[in-house]
């Protein structure tokens, strides 16, 4: 189903005369479109890409996985057929994925977009991806398999909240960015400290941008929280009605485990518990909505601290404000 909607299409029409969008598509700075889950960023990206010869590049850690299209709200075949899309559903469910892998793939996708005459539009809610792109990637050593196995054993015996608390003691800056349920990144941050005695945040401080400052422009979506939380509830309901439970069952049958990164997709842990008879559907929906709202709050906080100088759009319907933002992009 096309998700652009009347507001996003009207917005694209309104922007058609701004100086920024009259520049040849491949010569425009890449647009980095970030916002919390369910904020409407995908609809906006699609509307802009259709109107202004854009190519959409995924910057969401869950949408890289094949097999979870409904649960991760990944673009469907109808949408991907309208404009070029990169880095969506191209990884197997159990494949390891990291900020470093994404960064290399994203830079390649940006180059391919420009080579084909398209404006690169990167859209997603994984703030660490945009941080790596605009400030650089930490050059920390890889995690030895023995250490990773040891940390996984600790995770099994002590639980994620306890390990997250340990991380907060040694690296509060990184702990604030990582959700306790994001086991791969939690274990990675702990591993770096145990290997080197330095917090991962110290490695991040010694980085250089992967994309030059004049080669990108950022835009934050920051909708009213009450409205966002209502949309989160509506999206979860729509996911169930669209077949998310069957999707989860198929993913588990294909071997997906709780310690895989894809397991952290919104709703998956609690709906898996429902399928196992551990909770009711009402409980699963309630807990999933609660966890997703908490995740959105962390996205708000992360963006406020890390992208404080990016222009902000509170509502997609604010056409005049966004037109002014795009007009100002050439003067930044």
Residue 254 shares a structural domain with residue 197 = no
pLDDT at residue number 323: 63
The CATH number assigned to the domain holding 162 equals 1.10.20.140
What's the half-sphere exposure (Cβ side, CA atoms, 13 Å) at 170?
17
- Which pLDDT band holds residue 2 (cuts at 50, 70, 90)? very low
Query: pLDDT digit string (tens) for 268-306?
Result: 999 999 999 999 999 999 999 999 999 999 999 999 999
Residue 130 shares a structural domain with residue 249 = no
Return the bridge partners of 56, or none: 85, 121
22 vs 314 pLDDT, higher one: 314
Please give the Cα distance from 54 to 58 (Å, whole number). Answer: 13
On whether residue 303 sits in a domain, the answer given is: no
**Rounded to two decimals, what is the model's pTM?**
0.81
Residue 162 shares a structural domain with residue 124 = no
Please give the Cα distance from 94 to 136 (Å, whole number). Answer: 26
Residue 46 shares a structural domain with residue 195 = no
Q: Which domain holds residue 188?
A: 145-205
- Which pLDDT band holds residue 218 (cuts at 50, 70, 90)? very high
Residue 131 shares a structural domain with residue 272 = no
Residue 119 shares a structural domain with residue 12 = yes
Residue 24 shares a structural domain with residue 129 = yes
Lateral strand order in the sheet of 85-86: 85-86, 54-58, 119-124, 30-34, 216-221, 312-313
On whether residue 64 sits in a domain, the answer given is: yes
Residue 112 shares a structural domain with residue 155 = no
Least confident span in 21-25, 125-129, 202-206, 256-260:
21-25
On whether residue 152 sits in a domain, the answer given is: yes
On whether residue 301 sits in a domain, the answer given is: no
Classify residue 16 by burial, with Cβ atoms within 10 Å: 0-12, 13-18, 19+.
exposed
Share of the chain above pLDDT 70, in %: 89
Residue 107 shares a structural domain with residue 19 = yes
Q: Which range, 14-18, 114-118, 206-210, is most confident?
A: 114-118
The CATH number assigned to the domain holding 88 equals 3.40.50.300
Radius of gyration of the chain (CA): 20
Residue 250 shares a structural domain with residue 132 = no
3-state secondary structure 69-86: HHHHCCCCHHHHCCCCEE
Residue 218 shares a structural domain with residue 314 = yes
Least confident span in 74-83, 167-176, 311-320:
311-320
The CATH number assigned to the domain holding 276 equals 1.10.287.890
- Which pLDDT band holds residue 222 (cuts at 50, 70, 90)? very high
Classify residue 78 by burial, with Cβ atoms within 10 Å: 0-12, 13-18, 19+.
exposed
- Which pLDDT band holds residue 182 (cuts at 50, 70, 90)? confident
On whether residue 72 sits in a domain, the answer given is: yes
On whether residue 186 sits in a domain, the answer given is: yes
Residue 89 shares a structural domain with residue 154 = no
Structural domains counted in the chain = 3
């Amino acid at each position: 189903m096309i998700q652009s909607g009347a507001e996003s299409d009207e917005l694209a029409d309104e922007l058609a005369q701004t100086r920024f969008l009259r520049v040849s598509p491949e010569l425009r700075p890449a647009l980095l479109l970030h916002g919390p889950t369910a904020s409407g960023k995908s609809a906006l990206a699609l509307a802009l890409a259709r109107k202004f010869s854009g190519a959409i590049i995924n910057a969401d850690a869950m949408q890289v996985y094949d097999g979870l299209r409904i649960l991760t709200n990944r673009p469907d075949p109808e949408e991907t057929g309208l404009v070029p899309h990169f880095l969506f559903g191209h990884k197997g469910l159990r494949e390891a994925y990291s900020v470093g892998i994404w960064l290399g793939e994203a830079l390649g996708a940006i180059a391919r977009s420009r080579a084909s005459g398209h404006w690169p539009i990167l859209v997603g809610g994984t703030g660490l991806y945009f941080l790596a792109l605009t400030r650089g990637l930490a050059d920390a050593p890889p995690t030895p398999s023995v250490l990773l196995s040891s940390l996984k054993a600790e995770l099994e015996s002590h639980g994620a909240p306890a390990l997250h608390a340990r991380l907060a003691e040694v690296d509060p800056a990184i702990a604030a960015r990582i959700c306790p349920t994001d086991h791969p990144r939690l274990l990675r941050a702990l591993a770096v400290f145990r290997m080197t005695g330095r917090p991962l945040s110290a490695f991040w401080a010694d980085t250089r941008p992967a994309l030059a400052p004049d080669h990108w422009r950022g835009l934050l979506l920051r909708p009213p929280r009450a409205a966002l939380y209502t949309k989160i509830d509506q999206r979860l309901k729509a996911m169930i009605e669209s077949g998310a439970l069957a999707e989860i069952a198929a993913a588990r049958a294909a071997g997906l485990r709780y310690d895989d990164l894809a397991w952290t997709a919104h709703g998956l842990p609690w709906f898996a518990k429902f399928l196992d008879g551990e909770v009711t559907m009402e409980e699963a929906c309630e807990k999933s909505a609660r966890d997703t709202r908490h995740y959105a709050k962390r996205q708000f906080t992360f963006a406020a601290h890390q992208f404080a100088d990016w222009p902000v759009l509170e509502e997609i319907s604010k056409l005049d404000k966004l037109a002014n933002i795009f007009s100002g992009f050439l003067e930044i």
